[in-house]
Amino acid sequence: MRDLIRGLRTFFLDPAGRETVAVASVIIAIGTLVYRFVEDLTWLDSLYFSVITLTTVGYGDFSPTTPVGKVFTMFYVVVGIGIFVALVTQVGAHLVETRREGQGGASS
């Protein structure tokens, strides 16, 4: 658990990590706004749908019903999944590095 906390801490101290979190937050905010006003979902449902869509979980309880919503979702998924893959990759790299440091460094 200590390695997890240290890894997340180093991730958030890394400028690239903070930048990726900021970009992911903006992408989620854009999705939330579009789904709120184009699909007429509640704020909570819009946020939920944005996150579920970008994480590719897709429970199927919501789906876009308007043509604009459908077109937006196609682009949103393509762009958003890339951002989330980068985010998960960066967090994972920090966790692995923290784990290695906790074990006395990498063996070479």
- Note the pLDDT of residue 101: 82
Q: Where are the domains of the chain?
A: 2-101
- Note the pLDDT of residue 108: 44
Structure tokens at 88: 């998960």
Q: Over its length of 108 residues, how does the chain's per-residue pLDDT go in tens digits?
A: 787 888 888 888 889 889 999 999 999 999 999 999 999 999 999 999 999 998 888 888 889 999 999 999 999 999 998 998 999 899 888 888 888 887 765 554
**Residue whose token pair is 């970009």:** 23
Fold of 2-101: Helix Hairpins (1.10.287)
Q: Which H or E run contains 5?
A: helix 2-13
Q: Which H or E run contains 52?
A: helix 43-54
pTM of the model: 0.80
Q: How many CA atoms lie within 13 A of 58 on its CB side?
A: 7
Other C-beta atoms lying within 10 Å of the C-beta of residue 38: 19
Q: Which H or E run contains 78?
A: helix 67-102
